[in-house]
Amino acid sequence: MFITKRRISRRAVLRGASVSLALPFLDAMVPAMTPLKMTAASRKTRLVAIEMVHGAAGSTAIGRAKNYWSPALEGHDFPFTQTLKSLEPLRDYITVISNTDLRNAMSLVPEEDGPMADHARSSAVFLTGAHPQRTEGPDVSVGPSIDQIYAHRVGQETPIASLQLCIEDNLLAGDCGHGYSCMYTHTISWASPTEPLPMERAPRAVFERLFASPEAGKEKASRQSRNASILDAVPDAVALLRKRLDPSDRNRFAEYLDEIRDVEKRIQKVEASNSTGQHRELPDAPASVPDSFEEHVKLMFDLQILAFMTDITRVSSFKMGVDRSPRIYPESGVTTPFHALSHTGRTRTKLSNMPSSTRTMWAKLRIFWSA
């Protein structure tokens, strides 16, 4: 008996004048008569670190007593709290860890203790566990962060070692509180103790990094000005690949192209809306950044999904806000600025507003699990 199978490389890409389109995993990428663990289908561990600044309502004494965040019971069958309820379908993959306060985020000597000092340090400690050196200048020191430690191990296996994304601005200069550099406040990823990595806020920039060729200058600018699709650059390659696929792979490939085009259309829609000259809630934001927090977060999560689906990267860090942010999140039904609301004075009236805001945000995020 002869078994033949025309195999497609896991690293295959569809190339056009300005496009380098990585492929999702397809059955055609598995060599015939080869154990899955020895193929591109073998399990790949991915790391996504998401920072929600200021923690959650459950981090206060009242919040813990009411179980706004952490479950009341330990063990596999714990009841999901109102804030985490949307994650219940993923129970088998969820571990809630409590009591994670880090001493290195606090003042270790008297001169470090002052107004806004905790805010200025917390993001830097989140993934490093290290105590930041107090400085307003370039002589920062804290990392490296765990996402970059992992990216150093696996990054050579993927086109992009890691993604660093954010929702608010990514300022990396100046004093952001009690003599601490803004580098500590505006990123959570550190390549080394002295190398903070900037985080990308603009969905367009992330999309182009995933799918556009690095040398695609004029073609990319022309495509964006015409509001054309990145897929228009690879019609022949798409048609040729479809012919090589069996029906199940062909359907999966079509769904993948649809997902790319859906994200691209949403980015184009935001850019078109922001180019009309009308009032923006975020006037200084890049054109592809939606005024809507919910829409922005959804776009950034979907871009991460596409990156993982195609194995463009296996590491991502996502900073969903900035400490001391005055932003208001009207979609949550709460009209108090975020930073002011986080300083509840431990009063029950203010604190009771917070879980509904957080719960709404989490419930509407697209949750992604992949082997």
User: Which tokens go with 285?
Assistant: 């934001």
Residue 150 inside a domain? The answer is: yes
Are 81 and 144 found together in one domain? yes
* Res 215: pLDDT: 65
Same domain, 177 and 235: no
Q: In terms of Cα–Cα distance, which of 303, 310, 314, 24 is closest to 155?
A: 314
The verdict on 273 and 316 lying in the same domain is: no
| pLDDT at 304 (0 to 100) | 97
**Quick one: pLDDT at residue 362?**
40
Pick from 81-90, 233-242, 252-261: least confident:
81-90
Are 115 and 193 members of one domain?
Answer: yes
- Domain shared by 177 and 308, yes or no: yes
Q: What is the mean pLDDT of the chain?
A: 85
CA-CA distance, 285 to 226, in Å (whole number)? Answer: 22
What tokens does 137 get?
Answer: 């200048």
**Rounded distance, CA 264 to CA 203, Å?**
9
**How high is the pLDDT of residue 196?**
95
181 shares its domain with 75:
yes
Residue 240 Cα distances to 44, 212, 245, 267, 312, angstroms = 28, 20, 9, 28, 22
Domain-embedded: residue 337: yes
| Residue 234 near residue 21, CB atoms below 8 Å | yes
236 with 105, same domain?
Answer: no
Enumerate the H helices of the chain as residue ranges: 61-66, 117-126, 146-154, 182-185, 203-211, 217-225, 235-244, 247-274, 293-309, 338-342, 348-351, 353-363
Q: How many domains does the chain have?
A: 2
Residue range 250-267: mean pLDDT, rounded? 97
**Residue 355 belongs to what domain range?**
44-201+289-363
Asked which of 261, 279, 297 is the last residue of a domain, the reply is 279
Q: State both tokens at 186.
A: 């505006």
Among 279, 306, 322, residue at a domain's last position:
279
**Crossing angle of helices 235-244 and 247-274, rounded to 10°:** 160
Q: pTM to 2 decimals?
A: 0.87
Kindly state whether residue 113 falls inside one of the protein's structural domains. yes
Instruction: Note whether residue 54 is domain-resident.
Output: yes
How do residues 10-68 score in pLDDT, each as one tens digit? Answer: 888 998 878 889 999 998 888 765 655 555 556 789 999 999 887 666 667 777 888 88
Q: CA-to-CA distance for 231 and 203, rounded, in angstroms?
A: 17
Last residue of a domain, one of 237, 253, 279: 279
Establish if 95 belongs to a structural domain: yes
Residues 223 and 351 in one domain: no
* 137 and 247 assigned to the same domain: no
* Per-residue pLDDT at 346 exceeds 80: no
SS3 readout for 17-37: CCEEEECCCCHHHCCCCCCHH
Average pLDDT over residues 101-129: 93
What is the rounded CA–CA span in Å between residue 173 and residue 190? Answer: 15
How many C-beta atoms surround the C-beta of residue 213 within 10 A? 18
More confident residue, 368 or 282: 282
209 within domain boundaries: no
